[in-house]
Amino acid sequence: MINQRLQDQIGFIVEIDRLKRIFRQNVVIGTTEQENDAEHSWHMAVMAIILSEYSSVELNILKVLKMILVHDLVEIHAGDTFCYDEEGYRDKDEREQKSADRLFNLLPNDQASEIMSLWHEFEDMATPEAKFAASIDRLQPLLLNYNTNGHTWRKPGIMSDKVLKRNSVLEEPVPILWDLAQKIITDSIEKGYLKK
C-alpha cells in the first residue's frame, strides 16, 4: 500500500499533465503549432536562470523558479485568458481562484498552501521575485512574436501602444530588459510585424 500523502501527490502530478493541453495565442517558432502553458512555463524558467543577473534587486531565484513553474496551473480549469481580451479579464480572478482551490487541494495541506501562496504572490506582483517573474512572463511571448513575424500581433485591434504598455512591467525590476523590449517593439513596427 502507498500512503495517502504520496497518493495525493501523485494524483496532483498526473492531473497537471493537462497543462500541456492549455494553448496560448502565440506559436512555437518555425511552426504553426500554438504554444501550450507547459512549454511556456519551461521556457520562462530557463530564461529566469539566464537573465536573473539583470534584476535591479537581489532575488531568491529558487522562489522565482517555483513561482514560474506553477504560475499557469490555474489555467487547467480556468483556461488561458488572452492578455488583450478585456471581456475575458472581467471574471478572470474569480475563475482562477476556483480553479486554484480545486487543483491545489489535491495536494496534502502543507503543499497546497505553499503552491497557493506562490500563485497569489505571483498574481499580486508586489515582491521582487513576483515582479521579476512577471517581467519574464512578458518578455517570453515578446521574443516568440518577434521571431514569428509578429504572429499574435496580427490579430484585430492589437497596436504597439498596448504591447508597450503590457511590457512596461519590466521597467522597474529589470531596466536593461525594458530597454530591450522597447527596441524589439520599435523594430517590429519597422518590420511590419506590429501596427503603430
**What is the torsional sign of CA 164, 166, 168, 170?**
negative
What is the nearest approach in angstroms of its own copies to the Cβ of residue 95? 22
CB nearer its own copies, residue 125 or residue 143? 143
How far is it, in rounded angstroms, from Cα 196 to Cα 188? 9
CB nearer its own copies, residue 35 or residue 123? 35
What is the nearest approach in angstroms of its own copies to the Cβ of residue 89? 25
Separation of CA 96 from chain center: 14
Cα angle 118-14-139, degrees, rounded to a multiple of 5: 45
CB nearer its own copies, residue 7 or residue 159? 7
What is the nearest approach in angstroms of its own copies to the Cβ of residue 183? 7
CB nearer its own copies, residue 57 or residue 176? 176
Count of beta carbons in the 10 Å neighbourhood of residue 134: 20
What are 150's three cell numbers? 509578429
What is the nearest approach in angstroms of its own copies to the Cβ of residue 166? 19
Q: Return contacts of 96-102, CB within 8 angstroms, 24+ apart.
A: 96/123, 99/74, 99/75, 100/73, 100/74, 102/77
Smallest Cα–Cα separation from 183: which of 69, 194, 173, 73? 194
What is the nearest approach in angstroms of its own copies to the Cβ of residue 115? 9
> Binding residues for its own copies, per CB under 8 A?
2, 6, 9-10, 12-14, 16-21, 28-31, 35-36, 38-39, 41-43, 45-47, 49-51, 54, 61-62, 65-66, 69-70, 107, 111, 143-144, 147, 176, 179-180, 183
CB nearer its own copies, residue 9 or residue 88? 9
